Amino acid sequence: MKKMGLDSFRFSISWSRILPKGKLSGGVNPLGVKFYNRLIDDLLANGIKPFVTLFHWDLPQALDDQYSGFLSSNIVDDFRDYADLCFKLFGDRVKKWCTLNEPYSYSVNGYNGGSFAPGHCSRYMGNCTVGNSATEPYIAAHNLLLSHAVAVRLYKSKYQSAQKGEIGITLVTHWFVPKSPKSAADWEAAERALDFFFGWYAHPITYGDYPTSMKRLVGKRLPRFTEEQSHMLRGSLDFMGVNYYTTNYAAHNPVLQGVNASYSSDSQIIFTTHLHVDSKAGVPIGTPTGLNWLFIYPKGIYWLVKYVKEKYKNPPIYITENGLADATNDTLPRSVFIKDGMRIKYLHLHLQNLLLAIKEGVNVKGYYAWSLFDDFEWDAGYQVRFGMIYIDFKNNLKRYLKYSAYWYKMFLLH
């Protein structure tokens, strides 16, 4: 990191590494505390500021066993206690906190499609043994939002004045364009998609309630906030983290209400990455990458941050993830992956579009590429490589700077 000239490093704390049982009553793990203290101190000693997330989807197993994790409102108090401990232990040195990373991904992939832990979904949505895709995504999201709100309230009332830090949340969305530009219904679908992806969390955090389109289409399955909860949520951020990777086409898709209901069908939208005009295979929305959902569409990041400015009161924005996936191929030598010209192009074009947005008044304060290192990429595992630093997974995790790392260093210098 120091060699690349980075001045900040974004990482998450593992809840169960600090509290193995998920609760203060279960005891604090001193080795976990020691690990993060060493990490934070070493970063600062090298001129690198920590940007710390409290929850990146690794729920302590004990809390899932005890009350089904974020499906229970019990999680809110336990998350507050965990956050309190982290602020107390590390807040003298950590000046940027994120409560949650991509709560959308956790609630949808964990409780609607079942591809992420805890693997819940309705039988008609996936290969799950338990779950309800019509209700559980919304329940989990509701408790994630309340957990965020209590952690922010605690930090602001107990720690912020002394520690001089800031607290926010990291949200993710694609950008959306109407599949048929001449269709008013598709334009409305593109706008509605932003409500269901981004506004699901951004709207309560800014205004204290869910988007009108969600309340209309989800109906009684969407939980309600009390007046006190709404007040606690409203304005509960010092900054907004935004993760952007790609753009989708959106087309209106009316569905029969109550038939195999799920988060996926509630929005009444079909999402696609290809236009089928003359080509049977379809024309992709952008250049393909190593993941079947990620196509290069740099203008989307410009439109997204402009949207956040206009719709959500122009908060300070940190681009907390933005990057490109290469497909792993063990038959190719390391030298092939190190020459990652497409990644350089991806980063360059997205940063150009961010600069344009900044010149037009969008309050972008920082940028974190995804990812610094090749990683274990959730349900894709080691099948793709996102990093600017190559990791040799078969040779003691040895690291090699890719061409993009050198390019990024020069970008930071100039």
Domains of the chain (ranges; CATH) run 8-177+194-247+289-413 (3.20.20.80)
pLDDT tops 80 at residue 278: no
Q: Which of 112, 248, 145 is CA-nearest to residue 193?
A: 248
Residue 300 to residue 305: CA distance in whole angstroms: 9
pLDDT at 56: 98
Q: Which residue has the higher pLDDT, 368 or 280?
A: 368
Q: How does residue 280 score in pLDDT terms, banded at 50, 70 and 90?
A: low
Structure tokens at 38: 């060493």
Determine the pLDDT at residue 270: 96
Percent of the chain's residues with pLDDT above 90: 94
Run of H or E including 240: strand 239-243
- Is the per-residue pLDDT at 81 higher than 90? yes
**Span 331-343, mean pLDDT?**
92
For residues 399 and 388, give the distance between their C-alpha atoms in angstroms, rounded to a whole number.
10
Measured CA to CA, the distance from residue 408 to residue 68 in angstroms comes to 42
Task: Report the distance separating Cα 364 and Cα 253, nearest Å.
Answer: 34
DSSP 198: I
Looking at residue 329, its pLDDT comes to 86
Q: Do 60 and 118 contact (CB within 8 A), yes or no?
A: no
pTM score over 0.95: yes
Helices of type H across 15-102: 15-18, 30-45, 61-67, 74-90
Q: Give the pLDDT confidence of 251-274 residue by residue, as tens digits.
A: 999 886 668 999 999 999 999 999
Picking from 208, 176, 180, 206, the residue whose alpha carbon sits closest to that of residue 192 is 176
Sign of CA dihedral 41, 378, 388, 245: negative
Asked if residues 176 and 249 have their Cβ atoms less than 8 Å apart, the reply is yes
- Provide the token pair at 143: 């408790």
Res 39: pLDDT: 99
Tokens 């004045």 correspond to 161
Looking at every residue in the chain, the average pLDDT score rounds to 97
Average pLDDT, integer, range 335-361: 97
Closest listed residue to residue 220, CA positions, set 156, 165, 295, 138: 138
Full strand arrangement of the beta sheet holding 317-321: 8-12, 49-55, 96-101, 166-172, 239-243, 317-321, 364-367
Distances (CA, A) of 365 to 173, 305, 318, 342, 348: 19, 12, 5, 25, 17
Distance CA 338, CA 155 (A): 42
CA 250 to chain centre: 21
Closest to 155 (Cα-Cα) out of 79, 42, 71, 230 = 79
The residues annotated with a catalytic role in the active site are: 321
Mean pLDDT of 12-30: 98
Helix locations, 71-155, DSSP H: 74-90, 103-111, 136-154
**Pick the residue with more confidence: 54 or 336?**
54
pLDDT for 202 beyond 90: yes
d(CA 186, CA 250) in angstroms, rounded, equals 6
Contact yes or no for 336/352 (Cβ under 8 A): no
State pLDDT tens for residues 214-242. 999 999 999 999 999 999 999 999 999 99
Which pairing describes strands 274-275 and 283-284: parallel, antiparallel, or unpaired? antiparallel
Task: Write the CB contacts of 377 (distance below 8 Å, at least 6 apart in sequence).
Answer: 325, 383, 384, 386
The CA distances from residue 254 to 179, 186, 192, 356, in Å, are 15, 11, 13, 37
Structure token pair of residue 286: 């952008």
Position 279 confidence tier, pLDDT thresholds 50, 70, 90: low
d(CA 13, CA 175): 29
Q: Is 71 exposed, middle or buried (0-12, 13-18, 19+ CB in 10 A)?
A: buried
